[in-house]
Structure 1
Amino acid sequence: MSAGPFTKINPKIVITVFVVLIVLLTLVAVVPVVWGLLTGPGVRTEPVDTSKTQPASTELDGEWTIVDGERPNTTAVGFTFEELLPSDARVTSGTTFDVVGEATIEQETLTAGHVEVDMTTIGSDRDVRDENVRRKLFETDQYPTSSFKITEPIDLSHLPEDGSAGEIEVTGDLTIKDQTHEISDTFKAVRDDDQLLISGAPIINRNEFGVESPEMIAAEIADEGELNIRLAFAKEG
């Protein structure tokens, strides 16, 4: 017998449809919130701030070691990449303050230098994202450190002694996840009292270092981004 216009609808079907609608509405409401928690702007390593730097009080020549530095010019290294969304693009940064290294300056020329970064402590402003960045992007369980080694002498003789900034050309080998590539860029350098401050933001391609974008529902990390560097050196002895 064919169903008439007043045939009863199966209650189980009604309940199922109702539950599905609730789930969909919940996802629509919750996903943007969760996504916002995972994709905030992060913590960026800014360039050297010369607003409070002092005239140089020590000679350049000698052995120098990376120190913590003083705010706003504390030692820090991080990254800044764009996250590409279907309808938006936002910038995300991460930073670590666990950086060690040394440099040798002879006749006002930086002849050797090495920097090592603890990748296991890179952080932004989102704990969940930090865990993903460390484990999935940089695989810090296997590659806990990254490094940079100067490969060409850097002339420092022209740097002002009054605490203002000068520019230096930096070339060296950057190693991330055991992949090494040469980078070269213009950095900012300041002789601040008894410290030497250096900062830069060279552009790197993450694919060259085996940093693969994690699988995400709606976002993709740009191939190129900044390596944010701010270092404070103090002379040994």
Structure 2
Amino acid sequence: MSRRWKLIIGVVVLAAVAVVGGPWVYINFVREPAADSFVSEATTTSTDSATAAQSVVPTPVLSDATGTWNVVAESQVGYRVNEVLFGQRVTAVGRTSGVTGSVTIADLTVADAEFTADLTTVKSDDPRRDAQFEGRIMDVLNYPTAGFVLTSPITIDPTALAGTVTHQASGSLTLRGVTKPVSVTIVSTVRDSEILLAGEVAVVFADWSIPNPSLPGISTEDSGVLEFQLVLSR
């Protein structure tokens, strides 16, 4: 084999190593791990608290939850999508604190709930991903918000006033101008005088007319997760 061909082959091999090895090094040694899901954080906190309390009987933090509870600071809404970046699996997470809304509770029934998220402020750890999200994927210029409206009342377990409880909620979710019915598992936690709601909804992109986020060198599944952490105060 001539020296020239050896040089060409060497360059090709080095390029291949850079394409495959570069992303591997970045993902495993440079890039920060994806944040835990809000539901995972809520259930982990609940388990830790229960372990610490051991056999202590909890006392209600809220004697009465009746009233209108508004979304306050610390609330976040975002997405979680599994990606394959040049052969390396990663989880992409984008979030925003631009959330408004309220929950109306009468006795032990959630009568109304409505939330709106500002999609123009969603950010991930990659500006290039954010540009795709704002433009081709979610088209925030024409569809700047996402929204959820509760469509069926929720009966609250009395134990929810004392700690962490899981609820099922039915509502309508609007993304990219398309509204669909959804079922949401919500983990509620009472913290001092506030209520924390953590939940997630599986979103099949095609159902909401969302283009698949895949790009050359980056592929995604045909679905993702919309996740939220809402902090409510009266």
* Alpha-carbon RMSD: 3.2
* Shift of residue 228, structure 1, vs aligned partner: 1.0
In structure 1, the partner of 2:102 is 102
SS state at 1:29 partner: helix
Return 207-216 or 143-152, whichever deviates more.
207-216
Using the alignment, how far apart are the partners of 1:55 and 1:33 within structure 2? Answer: 53
In structure 1, the partner of 2:184 is 185
In structure 1, the partner of 2:154 is 154
Using the alignment, how far apart are the partners of 2:32 and 2:212 within structure 1? Answer: 17
Quick one: structure 1 residues 58 and 231, their matched pair in 2 at CA, closer, same or farther if it must change by over 3 Å? farther
TM-score normalized with structure 2 length: 0.77
Using the alignment, how far apart are the partners of 1:177 and 1:66 within structure 2? Answer: 22
Using the alignment, how far apart are the partners of 2:150 and 2:156 within structure 1? Answer: 14
SS state at 2:203 partner: strand
Residues 161-205 of structure 1: CA distance to partner in whole angstroms, max 9, x if unpaired?
A: 33x211111110000011011111321112222111111122121
Aligned residues of 1:100 and 1:116 also touching (Cα < 8 A) = yes
Could you say which structure has the higher helix fraction? Answer: 2
In structure 2, the partner of 1:224 is 223
Using the alignment, how far apart are the partners of 1:58 and 1:32 within structure 2? Answer: 58
Using the alignment, how far apart are the partners of 2:176 and 2:106 within structure 1? Answer: 32
In structure 2, the partner of 1:134 is 134
Using the alignment, how far apart are the partners of 1:183 and 1:218 within structure 2? Answer: 32
Quick one: structure 1 residues 64 and 101, their matched pair in 2 at CA, closer, same or farther if it must change by over 3 Å? same
Using the alignment, how far apart are the partners of 1:33 and 1:86 within structure 2? Answer: 9
Tell me the percent identity: 24
Q: Post-superposition, which runs of at least 4 consecutive aligned residues in structure 1 deviate over 6 A?
A: 21-24
Residues 98-125 of structure 1: CA distance to partner in whole angstroms, max 9, x if unpaired?
A: 1110111112101111000010111111
AA of the residue aligned to 1:79? Y
Using the alignment, how far apart are the partners of 1:215 and 1:170 within structure 2? Answer: 31
Aligned residues of 1:205 and 1:225 also touching (Cα < 8 A) = yes
In structure 2, the partner of 1:213 is 212
SS state at 2:159 partner: coil
SS state at 1:82 partner: strand
Choose 1 or 2 for highest CA Rg. Answer: 1
In structure 1, the partner of 2:55 is none
Using the alignment, how far apart are the partners of 2:37 and 2:216 within structure 1? Answer: 28
Using the alignment, how far apart are the partners of 1:159 and 1:226 within structure 2? Answer: 28
TM-score normalized with structure 1 length: 0.76
Task: Count the aligned residue pairs.
Answer: 216
Using the alignment, how far apart are the partners of 2:213 and 2:225 within structure 1? Answer: 18
Residues 55-87 of structure 1: CA distance to partner in whole angstroms, max 9, x if unpaired?
A: 52452111110111xxxxx31111111114574
Quick one: structure 1 residues 80 and 215, their matched pair in 2 at CA, closer, same or farther if it must change by over 3 Å? closer
Return 223-232 or 144-153, whichever deviates more.
223-232
In structure 1, the partner of 2:72 is 67
| Structure 1 segments unaligned to the other structure (5+ residues) | 1-13, 69-73
In structure 1, the partner of 2:54 is none
Using the alignment, how far apart are the partners of 2:198 and 2:214 within structure 1? Answer: 32
* Shift of residue 157, structure 1, vs aligned partner: 3.5
